[in-house]
Amino acid sequence: MFADMEGLIRAGSPEAQLLEELDSQRLPAHIAIIMDGNGRWAKNQGKDRIEGHRRGAETARLIVEVCARLSIPILTLYTFSSENWKRPTREVNALMNMLYENLLQKAALLEQHKVRLRMIGDPVRLPAKLSRKLREIETMSKDFSAMTLNMALNYGGRQEILHAVRELIASGAKPEDISHESLRRHLYTGDIPDPDLVIRTSGEQRLSNFLIYQTAYSELVFSKELWPDFRVLPLLEALTQYQSRQRRYGGI
């Protein structure tokens, strides 16, 4: 596993030590991350909030590459929530433009590491050029199987459940026919396993409407690092925490 991280960590570093201690057979199959703290990072640095988002995008690219090299099958990033539209128009527009530019830059990384890109969320409010680029890269990467990267865009957990219920009703399902399995099939994540590990950065300890159905038995790790500072070491620390826990799913 260490060889797979060549160029990202130095021999003898704390990152290298943690990597050597990890059990490669017990890594999570699905990691979901709430990328929080871009604005606070910018404020601490005396910079504009948009610069915080720009640095956060750099961190996202790094974490995608690290997870791909670690052979994590599924990574889900909470990229833009359905509540984020409440932010100032200037910030929202900058975020949408940044997402588009990052997709252009990320396409080569996805192809290099054979990562499939998928969007989860409601695409209706997204700018047309961003929606087109998302569809283009989803199509380009649909047969890549090394890892699936889910970008949660205009995503909200309650909105997702409501969407699934409406689809079930529209399909003619009777109350007695509705089960956990049928509901799951209509979620945005209906064909992928629930997250084993959810990481939230910036020290906040809540899910903020993120995958609220799917995280019933996920392990939660709250990192004090603001997202732009969440690099290889805090990710490996989160994986170490995950491997120190016993998952009982309500049993003994």
Low-confidence ranges of the chain (pLDDT < 50): none
23 annotated active-site = no
The confidence score (pLDDT) of residue 67 equals 96
Amino acid identity, residue 90?
R
Amino acid identity, residue 152?
A
Q: Considering the domain boundaries, does residue 12 fall inside one?
A: no
In the chain, the number of structural domains is 1
| Opening angle at CA 158, ends 239 and 63, nearest 5 | 25
| CATH assignment of the domain containing 182 | 3.40.1180.10
Is residue 66 a contact partner of residue 85, using CB atoms and an 8 Å limit? no
Q: Considering the domain boundaries, does residue 102 fall inside one?
A: yes
Catalytic one among 4, 48, 84, 97?
84
Is residue 54 a contact partner of residue 98, using CB atoms and an 8 Å limit? yes
84 annotated active-site = yes
Name the nearest CA neighbour of 200 among 37, 75, 62.
37
Q: Considering the domain boundaries, does residue 214 fall inside one?
A: yes
Task: Measure the CA–CA gap between 118 and 115, rounded to whole angstroms.
Answer: 10
Q: Furthest-apart CA pair in the chain: how many Å?
A: 60
202 in helix, strand or coil?
Answer: coil
Q: Considering the domain boundaries, does residue 207 fall inside one?
A: yes
Q: Considering the domain boundaries, does residue 183 fall inside one?
A: yes
The confidence score (pLDDT) of residue 3 equals 58
The confidence score (pLDDT) of residue 108 equals 87
Catalytic one among 36, 194, 196, 229?
36
Q: Considering the domain boundaries, does residue 140 fall inside one?
A: yes
The confidence score (pLDDT) of residue 34 equals 98
Q: Considering the domain boundaries, does residue 177 fall inside one?
A: yes
**Ramachandran category for residue 121: left, alpha or beta (phi over 0 → left; psi -120 to 50 → alpha):** left
Q: Considering the domain boundaries, does residue 65 fall inside one?
A: yes
Name the nearest CA neighbour of 79 among 50, 36, 43.
36
Residue 222 — φ and ψ, nearest 5°?
-110, 110
* Domain, as residue range, for 153: 27-243
Residues in the chain: 252
